[in-house]
Structure formats: structure tokens, C-alpha cells
Structure 1
Amino acid sequence: MANLTDLPNIGPHAAEQLAQVGIATPDDLMAAGAEQAWLKVQAIDPGVCLHMLYGLEGAVQGIPKKELDPARKQELKAFMDANRPA
């Protein structure tokens, strides 16, 4: 798997944003993890939303974001809330 768009939840727009912040391959995303990838995207798009974070986590886990564990979704929401731009 060489393209980010081969991962679940990663469409062309998300792949473009990730590439802009230095995450160009699935391996790059796996190494960064969902939270760090989301923070990098937030630096270029302050309006990046919770659904992007869920999508990134789903991509890391190899599942659609709707299948994320509810407890993990709560963790991700708390992370986003704690890392909103001032």
C-alpha cells in the first residue's frame, strides 16, 4: 500500500493536507499516529474537525471511522478539545 488514499477514511483532500505537512505515505501516518498527524494538519487548517481526527485514527487502525471503539472516540474528542487553537 503506497498511497494514503488506499487507507480507509482518507480521500484526496485529506491526503493532500497530509502531504502538505510531510505525511506522504501510509507508513508516515502510522509512524506519526492520528493525534500528531491531526495536530500537523491543524497548523495549516485551523478549522480541521473532529471527523478528520476520527478518520485518521480509523486509517491507522485500518477500519472505517464509524467502527472506532466508543471509548477511543471519547479519548480523541478530549484530545481535540485540549488542543483547540487559542
Structure 2
Amino acid sequence: MANLTDLPNIGPYAAEQLVRVGIETSEDLLALGAERAWLKVQTIDPGACLHLLYGLEGAVQGIPKKELDSTRKRELKEFMDANKLT
């Protein structure tokens, strides 16, 4: 069971938010995926941003968020726009 902060892009604050919504390990995040994890975080932080979503996806892929493929970034942006609470 790896710590969330062992993943790329997941710092202490993001890890704290993930734990608050029941995502306690890196395995939990990988099983859930970036989009579903972001939706859960949004329940406690309606201002959850695109950079968090990119960070979560990078963590799932095991890469820094700046290395995400442009097509995947576009998909994530569309997902966020369709699901944003504020």
C-alpha cells in the first residue's frame, strides 16, 4: 500500500483532500481513476480546478501533469466543464 504523496503531482494538500473523500492509498486512486476521484474531491471543494484533475491523471499514469498528452488534456477539460459545480 503506497502513500498518496509517493505519486507524481500529489502533495500533502491534495492527499489530505483525497483522504477526506475516502481515497486513502495510491491503489484506491488508481482503481477509481482521475475523473471519479476529482468528482469526489469536488464534493468537499466545489472549486476543485483543472490543475487538480490534470494532477490526478498524471498520478494515475505515473507522470508529471505537464507530460500529459494534449488529447487527454482536452478530454479532461471537457469532462471538468461538463461536471463543474461552480
Aligned-residue Cα RMSD (Å) equals 0.9
Could you list the runs of 5+ residues in structure 2 that have no partner in the other structure?
A: none
For residue 72 of structure 1, what is the aligned residue in structure 2?
Answer: 72
TM-score (norm 1): 0.98
* Aligned residue pair count: 86
> Counterpart of 1:60 in 2: which secondary structure?
helix
The 4+ residue runs of structure 1 with deviation greater than 2 A are none
Distance in 1 (alpha carbons) for counterparts of 2:16 and 2:59: 15
Distance in 1 (alpha carbons) for counterparts of 2:84 and 2:19: 22
Letter in 2 for 1:33: G
Shift of 1:9: 0.0
Distance in 2 (alpha carbons) for counterparts of 1:45 and 1:54: 16
TM-score (norm 2): 0.98
Distance in 2 (alpha carbons) for counterparts of 1:84 and 1:6: 28
Distance in 2 (alpha carbons) for counterparts of 1:62 and 1:11: 14
Percent of aligned pairs sharing the same letter: 78
